[in-house]
Structure 1
Amino acid sequence: MSLPADAAAALEAFQAVGSWEQRARMLMQWGERMPALADEDKIDANLVQGCESLVWLVGRLQEGHWQFAASSDARMIRGLVALLLARVNGLSAAELQAVDLPDWFNQLGLSRQLSPSRSNGLNAVLQRMRSL
């Protein structure tokens, strides 16, 4: 399965940096670049259950392809969610079902930074995407 353009760009960028500090900085930058969610989307109905941090998620199906937007109150989570969005935006529902989250963050060299709670939170976000 080929990667969406944003995901390919992310992969290239993260694989090009050597140290964990550089990756962590890049992660924050990805989070900061993520488009802001409108205040009217930051409602309880859009909160992802199962995250320790507050994460809001909205999704739209456009011509058979999903477009998601999200926001979080935590910088690190915002970065991780931004990278998840890069991986899934533009996918069909069937492709979305096939996304391997641990493999994606492993390829980015970020898996060891995923504590169990962060990992569970991101899985909760992905599950929410799949259920939308």
Structure 2
Amino acid sequence: MASPAFEEIVEDFAFLDEWEDRYAMVIDMGKALPPMEDALKAPSTKVEGCASQVWLHPEIDGGIYRFHGDSDAMIVKGLIAVLAALYNGLPVTEVGKVDAPAELARLGLNEHLSSQRSNGLRAMVERIRMQAADAV
């Protein structure tokens, strides 16, 4: 069910033996995220349950889900980029069908994120699912 962009990340991770290299790749993905407009960093887009400041702003166009996100933590920005690869471009009706924990487990994130980061990642996934459900 994963998008081609997410499958590319899975393939790239397979070539990296050390978690530190994967961690660096996630951070680089975050650095490559387009900046989010400050006007979109509002209470309505803030994700609760994250140790860092996190904002996710949905854009649904023609039934296709897409979001922009930002965080004040580089690793979290990278996780936002991973989630964007997983969800952006899907029909809103398909977003809730994505087994995010299983897909993210393919990257080995579960074993290497702190419990706070894991909770934040779950909160971001829940926000994305709610945004898509609200758009249906």
- Is the TM value for this pair above 0.5? yes
Mean alpha-carbon deviation: is it higher for 27-36 or for 89-98? 89-98
- Using the alignment, how far apart are the partners of 1:64 and 1:123 within structure 2? 24
Report the counterpart of residue 71 of structure 1 in structure 2.
Answer: 70
For structure 2, which runs of at least 5 residues remain unmatched after alignment?
Answer: 132-136
Q: Normalising by structure 2, report the TM-score.
A: 0.89
Report the counterpart of residue 98 of structure 2 in structure 1.
Answer: 99
Report the counterpart of residue 109 of structure 1 in structure 2.
Answer: 108
Report the counterpart of residue 57 of structure 1 in structure 2.
Answer: 56
The answer to whether structure 1 residue 11 and structure 2 residue 3 are counterparts is no
The structural deviation recorded for 1:70 is: 0.2
- Using the alignment, how far apart are the partners of 1:102 and 1:114 within structure 2? 13
- Using the alignment, how far apart are the partners of 1:68 and 1:36 within structure 2? 12
- Using the alignment, how far apart are the partners of 2:118 and 2:17 within structure 1? 23
The structural deviation recorded for 1:5 is: 2.2
- Using the alignment, how far apart are the partners of 2:26 and 2:48 within structure 1? 23
Q: How many residues are aligned here?
A: 131
The CA deviation string for residues 8-27 of structure 1, in whole angstroms up to 9 with x for no partner, is 21111111111111111111
For structure 1, which runs of at least 5 residues remain unmatched after alignment?
Answer: none
SS of 2:66's partner is strand
Report the counterpart of residue 134 of structure 2 in structure 1.
Answer: none
After superposition, the CA RMSD in angstroms is: 1.3
The answer to whether structure 1 residue 42 and structure 2 residue 21 are counterparts is no
The answer to whether structure 1 residue 24 and structure 2 residue 23 are counterparts is yes
Given that 1:15 and 1:109 are in contact with CA atoms closer than 8 Å, whether structure 2 keeps it comes out as: no
SS of 1:46's partner is coil
Q: Normalising by structure 1, report the TM-score.
A: 0.92
The structural deviation recorded for 1:82 is: 0.9
- Using the alignment, how far apart are the partners of 2:23 and 2:113 within structure 1? 12
Structure 1 runs of 4+ with >3 Å offset: none
